[in-house]
Amino acid sequence: MNKLKLAITLTPILSIMPTIDVLANEASTKEQLQQQLDNIIQRLAALETSKPEKPSPSTFKVYGTLRPTFGVTSDGSDDIWDVGDALSRIGFSSQHTLLNGMTAFTKAEFKVNIQGNGDFGEARKAYVGIKGGFGRFAIGKQASPQYNLIADPVDIFNRSTTPLAYDAASPFRTNNLVSYNKGFGDILFSVASQFNGSERDNASDFANAGLIYKSDFIRASFAYYERDLVDRTQEETVGISLAKSYGGLYLATSYQDRKVAGISGSTLDVVASFSINENYKVKFGLSNFDDGIKSIESTSYKALNSTVEWHGSKDFYTFIEYQNNSFDEKEDNDQVMIGMRYNFDYKF
């Protein structure tokens, strides 16, 4: 009887034992799944807070601008109609990250001769350099410090002969150039020298140095250069420039005091531009070039320019431009032209 009671008592317990095992297994499985889920969540959180991958140590860019023009030049007796070009170009540039925070860079830029056959012309720029905490050092054909510091603020018009007075005498891009730039807060120091061993001597043929101060309030710069001329005389020039933006209004001026073979002259450019809205911009300029020559051989002149631009996008705009050139010893002329400008810039 006792055995029968024991059997009756144990039977329900024995009958639920498989269920208990299944529940235990399920609990174990849920615990494992929860642990795996926690691991996944931790890994996702780590990915979100981890630093992004460093960019590629090298970059490559293809850029350019095509600037055809069409217009007429009138000197009072003849009208000359012509398709022109406002310094169209195409270029390639690259940068490569080096050790100790330094960067190597290079640029090659060539003219596109729209006015002629549309083929590539001479190189505008071709140089290689290195930059870092010590500054920027480059060798090759580059824009001179004189252009970067003095001319660039007033170089706003859509023609190859601009800035209007500066263009008549002073350097733009210079070959065989060694340059060095170094910034100190809002001040940038720039120096460059040309070394052309194929010329009459093996010393510097052109030396240029200057300072630029640039802040939210104003841009101000000073530069000096001297160069040897082909007739074995020397040119010395001191220049200053000022530029200021007031919202859509931009004002700038540059002045140079020049002495060529003992003859004193000067250049003066004053420009203004105003953005009427996001599509229309107007520009004005007054210039005076004085070569210091007081005879019929003088090329001195005064110039006035006015331009209206329509910007269809940041990369394309059209314009109409009027310019009057009043010469001291030559016949005056008036120029009216229309043109287009298409820019492109692709990074790889």
Percent of the chain at pLDDT > 90 equals 70
Amino acid type, 211: L
Within a 10 A sphere around the Cβ of 302, how many other Cβ atoms? 18
Give the pLDDT confidence score for residue 132 in this predicted structure.
Answer: 96
**The residue to which tokens 């640039």 are assigned:** 214
For the chain, give every domain's residue range. Answer: 1-50, 58-347
- 22 Cβ partners below 8 Å, 6+ apart? none
| Confidence band for 56, pLDDT divided at 50, 70 and 90 | low
**Token pair for 164:** 């209007």
Here the tokens at position 206 are 């052109």
pLDDT band at 120 (very low <50, low <70, confident <90, very high): confident
Partnered with residue 252 across adjacent β-strands are: 243, 271
Lowest mean pLDDT among 50-64, 79-93, 171-185: 50-64
Q: What is the pLDDT, as a whole number, of residue 51? A: 54
Architecture in CATH for domain 58-347: Beta Barrel (2.40)
- The residues, any chain, with a CB within 8 Å of residue 181's CB and separated by 6 or more, are 135, 136, 188, 189, 190, 191
Nearest-angstrom CA–CA distance, 336 and 282: 15
Bridge-partner residues for 82, per DSSP? 71
Give the model confidence (pLDDT) of 232-288 as tens digits.
Answer: 788 999 999 999 999 999 999 999 999 998 899 999 999 999 999 999 999 999 999
Residue 44 has pLDDT above 60, yes or no: yes
Confidence at 77, pLDDT banded by 50, 70, 90 = confident
CB 162 within 8 A of CB 67: no
| Model confidence band, residue 121 (pLDDT cutoffs 50, 70, 90) | confident
State the Cα angle at 164 between 163 and 169, rounded to 5°.
Answer: 85
CA distance 323 to 164: 10
DSSP track, 234-277: EEEEEEEEEEEEETTEEEEEEEEEEEETTEEEEEEEEEEEEESS
Looking up tokens 């263009």 gives 167
SS3 88: coil
What does the pLDDT look like over 58-70, one tens digit per residue? 899 999 999 999 9
Q: What is the pLDDT of residue 57?
A: 82
What is the per-residue pLDDT for 31? 75
Distance CA 148, CA 110 (A): 19
Position 159 pLDDT exceeds 80: yes
- Tens of pLDDT along 165-221? 999 999 999 999 999 999 999 999 999 999 887 655 555 689 999 999 999 999 999
Closest CA to 90 of 75, 57, 69, 112: 112
Asked if pLDDT for residue 230 goes beyond 80, the answer is no
Quote the Cα angle for 80-84-86, to 5°: 135
Single-letter residue type at 19: T
Neighbours of 89 (CB within 10 A): 19
Mean pLDDT value of segment 27-40: 71
Q: If pLDDT is split at 50, 70 and 90, which confidence band does 43 have?
A: confident
d(CA 135, CA 126): 20
Tell whether the model's pLDDT for residue 92 goes beyond 50.
Answer: yes
Angle of CA points 136, 142, 148, to nearest 5°: 75
Encoded tokens for 130: 């290195």
Residues in Cβ contact with 331 at an 8 Å cutoff, skipping those fewer than 6 apart: 75, 76
**Cα separations in angstroms, 338 against 81, 141, 167:** 12, 31, 21
How many C-beta neighbours within 10 Å does residue 294 have? 11
39 — pLDDT class (breaks 50, 70, 90) = confident
Give me the residues paired with residue 190 across strands.
181, 210
**Torsional class of 30: left (φ above 0), alpha (ψ -120 to 50), beta (otherwise):** alpha
Q: Which residue type does 75 have?
A: D
Which of 119-133, 202-216, 298-312 has the weakest average pLDDT? 202-216
Residue 313 has pLDDT above 80, yes or no: yes
- Helix or strand run (H / E) with residue 53: none
What's the token pair of residue 283?
Answer: 């520009």
Does 122 have pLDDT greater than 60?
yes
Of residues 134 and 13, more confidence is placed in: 134
Across the chain, mean pLDDT equals: 88
d(CA 14, CA 10): 6
